[in-house]
A and B are shown apart, each in its own frame.
Chain A
Amino acid sequence: MKKGVLREKPFEFLRDKNGEKFPKETVKNWYKARIYVLEKLKDVAYAPNEEGHLQVIVENDTPIMLAVVRSVALYAHYLNFKEEDLFGNYVAKNRTVITLVSQNENIDAILKKEDCLCNLIDNFRWSKFGETHNTNSYLDIELRIEKESVEEAGAKIIRMTEKDVDVFISQQDEKDIYTIDTRKAIMANKMYELGSLIDNLPAEDIHCAKRYTMALDAFQYVLLKDEMLPLIDEAQWNADIRKVKNGISSILCADCFESRARAMGGGNKEKLRQWEKYNMELSVSEHARWVTERLIMGIRPLNAKEYFQYENLFDTKRAAYSKMLKNNIEDQAHLDICSFRDLRRINPGDMIYDSFLLLAIPRILEKIK
């Protein structure tokens, strides 16, 4: 394993649906927004049974502030989010609320662009000047577009302004802004691959954290000893946008490790039992984060016609159809873009990725401090 920090530039590889690279200024804003938002959210964490939610007020709708909205949506996912109540109704309790202060009547069209929130707009709860859309959304994040800054009673408030962003960025080293330490993401990627090796989901307990812990303990030493190769393989990333999106997914996932560890009371091995105990809450939160990230990356859920066709197929044909939709580069659709509750009944085999990865976090944080 290399001792030094591995810094890479992944966002430059992202492309739009037409295969065109995003403008350099947009990419720069993503990097700036990432480092700024992670800094602002560094003290925020909610334990699984804690009540309350975060409200982030983003003042102004300039490109950098829209990039900030995008980053908040990617990172502000907390463990106290509840998908449903005791009656099985979707309640989406303790959602993070992003309040965007804007006077622009067409702001929703701008937010829907690929460099901003893209498909998230069609799936999460959002409102513009009081008119609400997607009221039944299962996602743990909500956007409110207001003409004036409105603070919610009972919420933890974080205010983000363009001036604040500029001041923060001016104090940072350029290398720290425009490159990312990918070591944790590389480990996350390895753990994802390890999770995919477990293909015999125990039927008596389809969400068995204890067994995943055993598997992790059995294999981690081999994996952690491996040489840490860069996350970016330029040839592959230039040829296949799916590789780029998956790599960036690992980075975004790894960026949330610290906030998860804070909520668990620490990322050290002494707290492993906590991670096991709250594996369900962690998994729900991670799944919501993953869905948000996939939607922002331009991947969409299956539409009604595709669901109908999927349901009319059986066994291997059903799996092949779902894979075909996932691999369609022009218009990727993923079966797992749904609530965690639906994932459990539609595709429980994929629950393992969330569970496994989350149990690996304390081990990864212990290795990479």
Chain B
Amino acid sequence: MKNRWWSFVGVLFMVLLAMLIVAYYKDNNVASWLKISTLTAGVTFVIGLCGTLTNIFSLRKKESGITWCQIIILLVIGVWIIGFVMIFDIQKSGSSTVVFGIIGGLLSLIFQDKIKGVVTFIHLRSNNLLGIGDWIKVPKYNVDGVVRKVTLTTVTLSNWDTTTSTIPISALQSDHFINLQYMSDGKTYGWRMSQSYIIDTDSFRPITNEEAEQLKSDEFNKSHNILGFLPEEEIKEGAFNASIYRLYLYHWMMKNPRISQKPRLNIRWIDQVDGGMPLLVYVFIITDSIDDYEWQMSLITEHVAESLRWFGLRLYQHPTSHDYQQRKGVEL
């Protein structure tokens, strides 16, 4: 709707400007006025029609239809300018040409963002960088949502918080934006998960013979299947529990059908913090929806929390009032 208003106001502005110029420099010529009026009416009609079609095409995600409508708008504006020049025979009059040039220069200055928008529109559409329904992020404008409408000058988005944002399309040329649609469609290697878990270093120690036998026992493996991910010979008395656990978690991730081994799959210790040693899980989850991605992340976190205990390890957390209460003789 806003776009149609802009088209209408723009055309009206140009008509008024033309009338002023012609009234000043030329004798009143009824035939010429009739021609320019007809041309203006035709151009306005085509722009209106294309605007309406753009809205209809946006509903059906007909990308090529939208692009053609916007290009037609651009062309009819060009036709109007050429028509204006020809009808009033401006090229033959030296003084008119100068004034027209000055007016044109001024218009370019006033509408520079619009002109940039047109260039950006053509660039984005011809390279398939932006489409209706694409999930994009524009950090500069704090925009994170789905593209609903693209015109020569603006992009309208529905944000995840159910608000609507309209940003100048030229911003997508001059500023950084992220298109997450290919990832969202599950066409890339996966959705990145980078999560660290702080392990209490007090629980780091070599495993005992009993623990090793327990980890290798049939009964234990029937429910936890550690041997499906770690060879038996790796689990032995004296082996460092944090090291075996990292190895276990790495091979568990490598065999997880929802985790891609490409482009990277990394399980590593990162810089020691006050609470302990963080174990970083850096993997790519194969999915095609944000809800599923978050669900899979939760499943991984739950597995980490559960499996740490099997190796005598524990997650770090600050002592709570419950911990203090459990220690006799300590007053709160």
User: Residue B187 contacts which of A206, A304, A341 (CB distance < 8 angstroms)?
Assistant: A206
Cβ of A368 under 8 Å from chain B: no
B262 and A88 within 8 A (CB): no
B191 to chain A, nearest CB (A): 13
With CB as the reference atom, state the residue of chain A lying closest to B284. Answer: A345
**Which chain A residues (174-223) contact chain B, with CB distance < 8 Å?**
203-208
Cβ of B260 under 8 Å from chain A: yes
User: Residue A345 contacts which of B187, B251, B261 (CB distance < 8 angstroms)?
Assistant: B261
A203 and B188 within 8 A (CB): yes
User: Residue A348 contacts which of B189, B250, B251, B259 (CB distance < 8 angstroms)?
Assistant: B189
User: In whole angstroms, how far apart are the Cα atoms of A208 and B128 in the complex?
Assistant: 14
CB contact under 8 A between A344 and B188, given known A308-B231, A311-B251: no
Please, which residues of chain A bring their CB within 8 A of the CB of B254?
A: 311
Please, which residues of chain B bring their CB within 8 A of the CB of A342?
A: 257
Please, which residues of chain B bring their CB within 8 A of the CB of A349?
A: 262
User: Residue A206 contacts which of B189, B250, B258, B261 (CB distance < 8 angstroms)?
Assistant: B189
User: In whole angstroms, how far apart are the Cα atoms of A141 and B188 in the complex?
Assistant: 30
**Which chain B residues (220-259) contact chain A, with CB distance < 8 Å?**
231, 250-251, 254, 257-259
User: In whole angstroms, how far apart are the Cα atoms of A206 and B254 in the complex?
Assistant: 19
Cβ of A107 under 8 Å from chain B: no
User: In whole angstroms, how far apart are the Cα atoms of A332 and B324 in the complex?
Assistant: 62
Residues 285-327 of chain A, each 1 if its beta carbon lies under 8 Å from chain B, else 0: 0000000000000000000110010010000000000000000
A308 and B188 within 8 A (CB): no
CB contact under 8 A between A345 and B182, given known A204-B188, A311-B251: no
B265 to chain A, nearest CB (A): 9
With CB as the reference atom, state the residue of chain A lying closest to B259. Answer: A345
Cβ of A229 under 8 Å from chain B: no
In this complex, the interface size class of chain B, counting residues with CB under 8 Å from chain A, is 10 to 19
User: In whole angstroms, how far apart are the Cα atoms of A284 and B126 in the complex?
Assistant: 32
Cβ of A346 under 8 Å from chain B: yes
User: Residue A305 contacts which of B231, B259, B262 (CB distance < 8 angstroms)?
Assistant: B231
SS class, residues of chain B in contact with chain A? loop
In this complex, the interface size class of chain A, counting residues with CB under 8 Å from chain B, is 10 to 19
Cβ of B171 under 8 Å from chain A: no
SS class, residues of chain A in contact with chain B? helix
Residues 254-279 of chain B, each 1 if its beta carbon lies under 8 Å from chain A, else 0: 10011111110000000000000000
Please, which residues of chain A bring their CB within 8 A of the CB of B187?
A: 204-208
User: In whole angstroms, how far apart are the Cα atoms of A88 and B257 in the complex?
Assistant: 9
CB contact under 8 A between A346 and B261, given known A305-B231, A311-B254: yes
Please, which residues of chain B bring their CB within 8 A of the CB of A341?
A: 257
User: Residue B286 contacts which of A208, A345, A347 (CB distance < 8 angstroms)?
Assistant: A345
A225 to chain B, nearest CB (A): 32
With CB as the reference atom, state the residue of chain B lying closest to A341. Answer: B257
Please, which residues of chain B bring their CB within 8 A of the CB of A346?
A: 261
User: In whole angstroms, how far apart are the Cα atoms of A88 and B296 in the complex?
Assistant: 12
**Which chain A residues (324-351) contact chain B, with CB distance < 8 Å?**
341-342, 344-349
CB contact under 8 A between A204 and B262, given known A88-B257, A341-B257: no
User: In whole angstroms, how far apart are the Cα atoms of A204 and B182 in the complex?
Assistant: 6
B258 and A311 within 8 A (CB): no
User: In whole angstroms, how far apart are the Cα atoms of A348 and B261 in the complex?
Assistant: 9
User: In whole angstroms, how far apart are the Cα atoms of A13 and B47 in the complex?
Assistant: 71
Please, which residues of chain A bring their CB within 8 A of the CB of B231?
A: 304-305, 308
**Which chain B residues (137-189) contact chain A, with CB distance < 8 Å?**
182, 187-189
CB<8 Å pairs between A and B, sample of 7: A206-B187, A344-B286, A345-B190, A345-B259, A345-B260, A347-B261, A348-B262
- A: which residues have CB within 8 A of B? 88, 203-208, 304-305, 308, 311, 341-342, 344-349
